[in-house]
Amino acid sequence: MRQSKKQEVSSWQEFEEATKEILEAHEFKTAFRVVFKDEKGRAEIDVVAERYGFILAIDAKRYTHTWYRASALRKEAKKHAERCKRYEKIVGKKVVPVIVSLIDDSIVEHEGCIVVPFHAFNDFLLNLEAYIDELIG
C-alpha cells in the first residue's frame, strides 16, 4: 500500500509559492524571486514581503528529514543575513532576514537571521513584532 504524501510540499517551487501565499493572506505586499546586483555580484531572495514598515526577506528551505542538518541551516542563515545586508543598501530600508524551513522544532535566530519552521510561520506572522523584538531586537 502506497503512503499518502498529500500533506507534503512536492517541490521547492511549491514550497516557495506556499510561503508567498501565506504572506499575502497576512496582507503583506510580496515580490517573488527578487534578483538584485551590487558590487559583490548577483543575488536572489525567494520572497520579499512588506507590511506596516516591516520588510521581510524570505529564504524558503525545503529541507527534508533525509538531509537536514543543523549546521547546514546555520550556514544558510549566515549567507542569507549577509545577502539581506546587501539588499538593504539597495532599497535603503531595514530588511529582516527570515528562513522558512519545512522541518525544524523551534523558532530561533542565527547571525541576525530568524529561522521559522513552516508549521509555525502563521504564528510568527501574527506576532511578528514580538518575535523581531525578542530575536533580533
Using a pLDDT cut of 90, give the percent of the chain over it.
58
Cα four-point dihedral sign 77, 83, 89, 91: negative
Q: Residue 7 has what pLDDT?
A: 42
Q: Which helix (H) or strand (E) holds 30?
A: strand 29-38
pTM (2 decimals)?
0.86
Question: What tens digit of pLDDT does each residue of 45-93 get?
Answer: 999 999 988 899 999 987 665 555 677 788 899 999 999 999 999 999 9
Please give the order of strands across the beta sheet that includes 108-110: 29-38, 41-51, 54-61, 96-101, 113-117, 108-110
What does the mean pLDDT of the chain come to?
A: 86
Question: What tens digit of pLDDT does each residue of 96-113 get?
Answer: 999 998 876 566 889 999
